[in-house]
Amino acid sequence: MVFEGIDFFAVWLYLMLRRWDALAGAFVRLPGAPVRSDSQVITLLKERLQPIGVAPKSGGRRWTAAVFAAAVVLSPATSEAESAAEIMQKQRTMHRTRDETETLVMRLVSKTGAVKERRLVRYTLTGPDNLSKLLIRFLAPRGVENTGLLTWEAPRGDDDQWLYLPATKKVKRIAAGSKSHRFMGTDFAYADMQPENLQTHQYQMLGAEIVDGHECHVIEAVPATEREATNSGYSKRKLWVRKDNYFTIRREYYDRNGRLEKTGFERKLVQVAGSAWRANELEMHDAEAGTRTILVVESRSVDKGLNESLLTEAGLMQGG
């Protein structure tokens, strides 16, 4: 039997916790084997699972029971048994707001430590269909003032993005294949500026880790569609999602060859509205180039109402 994406510990854990669905999800259908659905796989696994003959001493049984008990005690989330996809969905729902306005300071740090500073404002509007619209506009330095990027999340497939360069007085749609391009000289790609697209990714639970004193699920995100794989430029990403508030505080981005390209951090979390949290500091670190981009939120207003016309092509050109 071959399992992908989980290690021996995880297999044991799932077996102990009777997480047949997780095992079925990781089960690899080998070429030449009969086609099986998940429930058939679960049946197969149950068949194959044989208890090892335990010595008919009561002591042995007690030990086994003690081990199981320990396992139960050690894994706190056993009763919840969430899948990675469930967690990502929950994340989206929890941290949704209707609208947001943020002003940010962006610092670009070169390999040698030199710093370039920019200021920008970000508007986010989430419609009743749960799709978001984002507008990012530069405020400073003077040369790039009013340069803007507008993103409309699409239900499935590519989001629409438009770029406005005031000096050219033109708005250009950004072609889909450009998502992997670095945004405005930062370490963030255009793709990184878009909300997590649950439709075009497949999520796999890798396990759990403690990051910055917080317990996190470690989830692997892999492009689920050909198109996503082509456009995103990442073969996979790893996400560390906090167990307590379902906020992703760390991301690792792996390039086409499977090498670690960037690491992203979200820090200084604050609860902004209801169940929604936000990070006041974001950092993207390019391991290879040695550069980093740091975004610091200066001010934020949430759910105060936002004019929808702002997040249109016309709105993009406004102020320019």
Partner 1 sequence: MRNPLLSVVDHPFVAGGLLTLLTLALALPIPRIEFDTSAEGLMVEKDPARRYYEQAKERFGSDTLTVVLVKAGNVFTAPALAAIRRISDRLDRIEGVTRVESLTTVRNVKGTGAALSVEPLVGPTIPTAPADLERIRGDALGSRVFVNNIVSRDGAAAAIVVYTDARPGDKQFNTRFSDSVEAIVAQESRPGLSVYQIGTPLTKVLFGEYTRRDLVGLIPISLVVLFAILFLALRTLQGVVIPIVTGLLSVVWALGAMALLGIPINVITAIIPSLLITIGFAEDVHMLTEYHHLLEAGRDKVAAVREMVTQTSLPVLVTTFTTVLGFGSLITTDITMLIQFGYASALGLTANYVVTVVALPILLLAWRVPGRRRRSPTPEPSGHDPVQGWIERLAAFNLRYRTPILVVAGLATAGSLVGWFTLRVNTDFVSYFPENSVIRQRTEDLHRSMAGAFNFFVVVDTHRENGLVEPAVLERIAGLQRFLEGTGEVDQTLSIADYLRKIHREMNAGDEAFDVVPATADEVSQYLLVLDAKETAKYLDFNGSAANIVVRHNITSSSQLSRLLKRLDAYVADHFPEEVKVRYTGEGILISNAADYMAINEITSFSSTFVIIGVVHALLFMSLRASILSLIPNLIPVLMNFGLMGLLGIPLNTGTALVATVAIGIAVDDTVHHMITYARQLNIHHDQRVAMVETLRIEARPIVYVSLALAGGFLILVFSSFVPTRYFGALSAFVMVVAMVGELVLTPILMHSTRLVTLWDMLQLKLKRDLRTTVPLFRGLSQWEARKVVLLGLIESFPTGDLIIHKGAAGTGMYVVISGRVRVFDSGPDGVERTLTVLEVGAVFGEMALFADGVRSAHVVAEEPVELFRLDFAAVERLRKRFPFTGAKLFRNLAGILSERLRERTAALVQSRPPC
Which residues here bind partner 1, judged by CB under 8 A? 110, 112, 114, 116, 141, 143-144, 147, 163, 165-168, 170, 172-175, 177-178, 180-182, 184-185, 229-230, 233, 256-257, 289
**In the bound complex, what is the minimum distance in angstroms from residue 96's beta carbon to partner 1?**
30
CB of 281 to partner 1, least distance (A): 22
In the complex with partner 1, the residue whose CB is nearer, 259 or 268, is 259
Nearer to partner 1, 96 or 182 (CB): 182
| Rounded Cα gap, residues 284 and 291, in angstroms | 9
- What is the DSSP-derived secondary structure letter of residue 195? P
Paired tokens of 312: 């249109």
The answer to whether the CB of 193 falls within 8 A of the CB of 136 is yes
Q: What are the strands of the beta sheet with 236-242, ordered from one edge?
A: 160-165, 148-152, 132-140, 115-126, 99-109, 292-302, 276-286, 260-273, 248-254, 236-242, 214-223, 201-211
For residue 163, the minimal CB distance to partner 1 (Å) is: 6
299 DSSP β-pair partners: 103
Supply the minimum distance, in Å, between the C-beta of residue 189 and partner 1.
Answer: 10
Task: Return the number of the residue (21 or 255) whose C-beta is nearest partner 1.
Answer: 255
Residue among 38 and 288 whose Cβ is closer to partner 1: 288
Phi, psi for residue 274 in degrees, rounded to 5: 55, -120
Nearer to partner 1, 184 or 205 (CB): 184
Residue located via tokens 């404002």: 121
Minimum gap (Å) between residue 183 Cβ and partner 1: 9
> Using CA atoms, how far apart are residues 20 and 16, in angstroms rounded to an integer?
10
